[in-house]
Amino acid sequence: MSESKNRLLYILKYLWEYTDEEHQVTTNQLIDILQQEYGISVHRSTLAKDLSELQDFGIDVVTVHSTQCKYFIGNRTFELPELKLLIDAVESSKFITAKKSDELIKKIHSLASKGEVSKLKRNNYVTGRIKPDNEQIYYIVDTINDAINQEKQIAFTYYEYDSSKRKVLKNGGEVYVISPYHLVWNNDFYYVVGYSEKKGKVVTFRVDRIATQPEILEQAALEAPKDFVLADFTKEVFSMYDGQEVEVELLCDNSLMKTMIDRFGEDVKTTSYNDTAFRLTTEVSASPTFFGWIFGFDGKVQILAPQEVKEQYKQMIIQASEKL
């Protein structure tokens, strides 16, 4: 590569990494940087032509005219507030592992100047972050997406939690086979929606609970049931809570540890109650939706405290029974 091409690339690299409206570089500074960092000597007039070439190429190199001209990159692909939103989304996502979050944030930082990155780091803070530990998630998502595009069935194993929060393969390591239709993002988690011939219906699996890299099978995916509508299905399967937040204590059957971790995260406070149950403490929205969720466990979940929430739940059941 010729020296002139090298010089253009080095100039662009420096401008992109180190300059913005608040961090400008003068002609003399650029000449010194090229000499000291890359061993390239350049005349002021040549440098001016190089900068003009970058502008002609579409790079927004802004020139501040004065006795000592200054330069900086003006318009970037993303503005600083947009990068902040992206970083916050990555940081707060319960689907993305802590390690992958750090990797993605570093890549987002590369879209800004060093000066802007310092602002992003200084203002970056997310509370209550629950992160998974399955580093294979991204490859699993990619494989499922390929299978959907190829209209092929997939096979995989799935894990759950025992009463001691240990990961165990579900149903003794059963291999699940489905025809995948969609990847759905809900409540910060990815779910694969597909048809299970064994169960004879459309089912969902949380992607970060898939224990092994899915295998794309030779068998073509089965067509979705004629009455299947994704919007209606997700509305039925995924519920949202609303109402005032309150700390509750729940008494849960040991078989529900996986369900509780899925809902509240692995850091949720649990203690053994007896040989068949555990106590769980967390914050919830004490709403009819929450009470309906409790009722759906058919007595396997009981509200221990606070008393006012117990009374609200009791009254809801009484009112419901009176309507029967």
pLDDT per position as a tens digit, 229-241: 998 888 667 654 4
At 189 the pLDDT is 82
Q: Is the pLDDT of residue 271 over 90?
A: yes
Residue identified by tokens 């004879």 is 200
Mean model confidence pLDDT for the chain: 88
Confidence of residue 134 (pLDDT cuts 50, 70, 90): low
Which residues neighbour 158 within 8 Å (Cβ) at sequence distance 6 or greater? 169, 170, 174, 176, 205, 209, 210, 211
Of the listed ranges 90-94, 124-128, 146-150, 189-193, the one predicted with least confidence: 124-128
Question: Cα dist. 310→63, 239, 285, 315 in Å?
Answer: 68, 21, 13, 9
The answer to whether residue 212 scores a pLDDT higher than 90 is no
Strand partners, 61: 73
Spatial separation of the C-alpha atoms in residues 146 and 149, rounded to whole Å: 5
Q: Beta partners for 25?
A: 71
Q: Crossing angle of helices 80-92/114-122, nearest 10°?
A: 50
Residue 2 pLDDT greater than 80, yes or no: no
Which three-class secondary structure state does DSSP give residue 159? strand
Task: Give me the pLDDT at residue 8, please.
Answer: 93
- Most distant pair of Cα atoms in the chain: their distance: 90
Q: What is the pLDDT of residue 241?
A: 47
Name the least confident of 78-82, 136-140, 293-297: 136-140
Average pLDDT of span 87-107: 85
Instruction: Count the Cβ atoms, other than its own, within 10 Å of residue 276.
Output: 10
Tell me what percent of the residues of the chain surpass a pLDDT of 70.
92
pLDDT of residue 174: 94
Between residues 126 and 271, which one has the greater pLDDT?
Answer: 271
- Tokens describing residue 116: 């802007």
pLDDT of residue 321: 77
